[in-house]
Amino acid sequence: MFLGVDLVVISDMVANKVISAREVLSEFVSNYVMKNSEIGAFVSVDLDRALADADLIDQAIVKRETNGRLLGVPFGVKDLEDVSGFTTTKGSALYRLSPPSKASSIMVNRLIAQGAIVVGKTNTSEFGLRSETTNAVFGDTRNPLDLSRTAGGSSGGSAAAISGGLTPLATGSDGGGSIRIPSAACGISGFKCSFGQIPVEPSNGSWGDLSSVGPMAATLKEIAYVLDEVVGPDERDFRSKERPFGLFYQYWASQRSPCRILASKTLGYAPTTPEVSAAFDKALSLIESQGIAVEVVEDILDEDPLEPFMTLALAYTLSGVEKDLRTGGWEVVEPVTRQWLEYVMDLKAQDLLRAQSVSYEISRRVIDKMQGFDLLMTPTCASTPPELTTQGKGEFDDSNWVRFTYPFNMTRAPSATVPFQLSRSSFPIGVQLVGRVGRDLELMAYGSFIEALFSNNM
């Protein structure tokens, strides 16, 4: 944990002049110098700018001219998201030499307005398309818990920065599991809001209505604290929703115990490794020991919705980069990216509509299955994070380890992941918690209870 405390405490200490924002930034600099070269979490930093911002915050605190809730908290920004003064490479040689962004994203601006300090950009896979974080420009992001393993993706740079203690806060985006997968892989908690809770600008090239952006931190406590500052509508995003009727941080503090949980180890199509299976069984037993009713059902879905999901994801991606690809970009993108995008080059309108229709069918199926239950619980991933190959090119033994997350991008439902370990020596697995669309606060309250239960079990 950064500075040995969470970001809520850091901000409070800075606000009360127990520690200065510059001293907090000095901790980041020290951690960055010691760890980033081996982890590969950050791809660019601007320490002079960050230290100057810290000095401005310290001066404003002395003059009592600021009351932000994230004072002095350093944060990284996933390299799919714009930050004024930084190049957004999207993990691709196609944009490596692009000029720095002239403006920051809505979420980044809201974090800065509360006194958080941008320190740099975090690594991602090319265009956020892969479930591990590696690209031809910046290479692999390695898992701080085991440097031989992937950190997951595509927000792996952000997850690794947090798990490795480089920074307490980073941004992520989740179009198919890209917050939940790396959070689970790196042993931290993660939270994907219902679609539209946090606004985005179309120019950011997000995956249409599959993707949700959001803050990433080590615990749900910290995530909830930050969510209260970034949710809410913006007129630039006509899909954005009104603020929830309540505060995430208050619902986190309530640690509400669910009464009935629907659990599925496979969702009907995704087998898990023996290690994940055993850990998930123990997690369910621990929950049942609290008097919570758990019903295990394996036919949540009839089949893996990978094909319609990829149709949507790749179509959204292509629409955002096609102009640049047509002007010579096809030769510089990675081979796997080119292969995938070529797959949807001749996509017909009815193909896209058919994939959208499958999303509605999945949503109705999950809603029906969840009747009478507070939430749905699954493994976050089918295995622990795979090892990088000896060539270090981000290739993996098991290409099917991330089948549990993308259905809940297709349904637009809120979902979270919290870490669970069989023993202190075992690698943590993520346990995914799925709520109902629009009931993000409720899911946060249940997630807080389960996260604390799992943590106290260790």
Residues designated catalytic: 78, 154, 178
The tokens describing 378, both together, are 């699954």
SS3 87: coil
Which segments of 193-282 are extended strands (E)?
212-216, 260-263
CA torsion 448-453-455-458 (nearest 10°) is: -170
Dihedral pair phi/psi, residue 192, rounded to 5°: -105, 120
Count CB-CB contacts under 10 A for residue 112.
18
Tell me the helix, strand and coil percentages in the chain, rounded to 5.
40, 15, 45
Q: Which residues pair with 158 in a beta bridge?
A: none
Q: 135: part of which helix (H) or strand (E)?
A: strand 134-135
CA 398/CA 386 separation, integer angstroms: 7
Tell me how far the alpha carbon of residue 396 is from its chain's centroid: 21
Q: What six digits make up the tokens of 146?
A: 């085991």
- Report the DSSP beta bridge partners of residue 273: none
Buried b (16+ CB within 10 A) or exposed e, 358-384: bbebbbebbeebbeebbbbbbbbbbbb
Is residue 121 a contact partner of residue 42, using CB atoms and an 8 Å limit? Answer: yes
Burial of 286: CB neighbours in 10 Å, binned 0-12, 13-18, 19+:
middle
| Whole-angstrom distance, CA of residue 224 vs CA of residue 249 | 5
What DSSP character marks residue 2?
G
Residue 350 in 3-state DSSP? helix
How many whole angstroms separate alpha carbon 279 and alpha carbon 118? 37
* Of the candidates 13, 147, 25, 155, the residue with the CA atom closest to the CA atom of residue 90: 155
Report the candidate in 46, 115, 28, 114 with the shortest Cα–Cα distance to residue 84.
Answer: 46
Q: Which residues contact 8 (CB under 8 A, 6 or more apart)?
A: 221, 222, 225
